[in-house]
Every structure is written in C-alpha cells, then in structure tokens.
C-alpha cells in the first residue's frame, strides 16, 4: 500500500501520492485517530503532522469516494433503510442510511428531523443516484410509507423491525468512529466524513464470512489495486 519508491506528486504538495493515499486509507479503513496515523507514518520513516493528515483526509477523501461509487457494480434490488440518532453539539440529529441486500452502503444523509419531509428528501437523493429498487425494507416509521407512495408508488414496501437488521448493523461503525472522534462537531462534518467512510468500507470490507480465504485475499488485492489507481488520479 505504501510505496516509498513512488515519488509522483500532486501539484502543490510536498509528499508523494502514495503517502497521501496511505494516510487517507489508514484513517478510514481502521478505527484510528489522526495522531494514530501520524505514528504509523513515522514508523515508516515519514515525518508528517496530524494537522497535515487532517487536510489530506478532508481534501482527498471525497475524490476516493466518488471514484468508488463510479466503479462499483449496480446495487442489489432490495434496499434496507434505517435512521439512528446522533448527538452534535448537544442536539439530536438523525443519520439516515440505505444499505442494499449485499450489505453495501448506498447513501447517507444527516438531517435534523425524522418526518415525512426528511424521508422524502432522503429517498429523492437515494433514487436520483441509484434509480428505484424492487423492494424497500424499513422499520415501522410511517414517514417512509408516505414518502415512498409519493415518489415510488410501484416499489414494494416491507415494514418490519426484524427484517431490517442489515441496515441497523451498518450503524455500528459510525458509533465506533464517534467515540474515537469525540463526537462529530457539526452536521456538515458528519455528512462529509460518513459519506466518504462508508464508501471506503464498501471497498475494503468485503463480506468475509461469505468468502473462502482465497477469495478474500483476491478481493483484498483487487481493492489495493483500485486504490493505487485512484491515488494516481488525485488532483489538487
């Protein structure tokens, strides 16, 4: 992943692309703080401050996420939607998340409300990017049904708490990162971070329990190859 012999640089940046790419990958792939990533790079002979790493993560993370979305296969035709409360500066906000039947995160949206208007805004954002699914699976929040009937009346809608474990499970990584980051500082920061973090997780967390050891190693090698290709195309 970190190739210190690769000295190609992004215009205006002192460190090579491979170093920047490694820092962004390590921060999002593992439950690490910015200072943890600083230490990892120092052990590999790269002296860089955590403030610089923060700038790389904020500046280039969205480029990686956009490329991952562009190159991913079409999602499964059954989607699981769920919402969970997160605290930002003492106020409750709602993290809306959509996951397909394969467990890949399709979309997230931070909102201050949990009503029909919020559900409608989320579904519009989701379907603008991915089209319409065959089936939507949600909990029993009535706002989903009202919003779905307005923009996608032909889509089958299944509402049952026990059917939506896949989406609910995807929130665990968010809780882990919240704890490390000391909670999110603003809705904008949460939206920016999670929209990148979930896409990188899609690429580097294949469903290991469904794969043989050999298949998992192949999937990991492919992911590293894609990441290196994306790093070569980063722009300032």
Q: Residues 227, 28: contact at Cβ < 8 Å?
A: no
> 155 and 56: one domain?
no
Does 198 reside within a domain?
Answer: no
> 26 and 127: one domain?
no
Does 1 reside within a domain?
Answer: no
> 67 and 83: one domain?
no
> 176 and 99: one domain?
yes
Number of domains in the chain: 2
Does 92 reside within a domain?
Answer: yes
> 58 and 89: one domain?
no
Backbone angles phi, psi at 119, to 5 degrees: -65, -40
Q: What is the pLDDT of residue 8?
A: 86
Does 12 reside within a domain?
Answer: no
> 61 and 86: one domain?
no
> 182 and 84: one domain?
yes
Q: What H or E segment, with its residue span, contains residue 93?
A: strand 91-100
Q: What is the pLDDT of residue 162?
A: 66
> 85 and 67: one domain?
no
Per-residue pLDDT tens listing for the chain (236 residues): 676 566 688 988 999 999 999 999 999 999 899 999 999 999 999 999 999 999 999 999 999 999 999 999 899 999 999 999 999 988 999 999 999 998 899 999 999 999 999 999 999 999 999 999 999 999 889 999 999 999 999 999 999 776 656 666 666 777 777 777 767 889 999 999 999 999 999 999 877 777 899 998 999 999 999 999 999 999 98
> 82 and 101: one domain?
yes
Q: Select from 185, 181, 193, 175 the least CA-distant residue to 24.
A: 193
Burial 35-52 (b: 16+ CB within 10 A, else e): ebbbebbeeeebebebeb
Q: In a 3-state reduction of DSSP, which class is residue 234? A: coil
Does 138 reside within a domain?
Answer: yes
> 92 and 139: one domain?
yes
Give the domain extent around 50: 17-71+206-231
DSSP assignment letter at 170: T
What's the rounded Cα separation, in Å, for the pair 35 and 212? 35
Q: What is the pLDDT of residue 160?
A: 78
């Amino acid at each position: 992943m970190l190739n210190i012999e690769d000295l190609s640089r992004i215009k205006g940046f002192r460190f090579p692309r491979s170093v920047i790419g490694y820092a962004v990958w390590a921060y999002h792939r593992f439950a690490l703080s910015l200072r943890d990533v600083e230490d990892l790079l120092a052990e590999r002979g790269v002296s860089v401050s955590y403030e610089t790493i923060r700038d790389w993560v904020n500046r280039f993370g969205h480029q990686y996420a956009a490329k991952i979305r562009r190159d991913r296969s079409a999602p499964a035709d059954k989607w699981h939607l769920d919402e969970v409360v997160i605290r930002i500066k003492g106020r409750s906000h709602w993290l809306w998340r959509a996951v397909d039947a394969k467990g890949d995160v399709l979309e997230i949206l931070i909102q201050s409300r949990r009503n029909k208007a919020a559900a409608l805004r989320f579904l519009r954002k989701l379907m603008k990017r991915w089209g319409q699914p065959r089936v939507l699976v949600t909990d029993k929040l009535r706002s989903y049904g009202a919003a779905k009937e307005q923009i996608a009346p032909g889509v089958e809608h299944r509402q049952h708490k026990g059917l939506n474990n896949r989406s609910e499970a995807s929130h665990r990584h968010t809780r882990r990162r919240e704890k490390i980051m000391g909670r999110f500082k603003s809705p904008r920061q949460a939206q920016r971070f999670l929209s990148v973090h979930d896409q990188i997780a899609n690429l580097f967390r294949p469903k290991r329990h469904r794969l043989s050891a050999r298949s998992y190693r192949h999937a990991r090698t492919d992911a590293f190859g894609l990441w290196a290709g994306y790093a070569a195309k980063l722009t300032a």
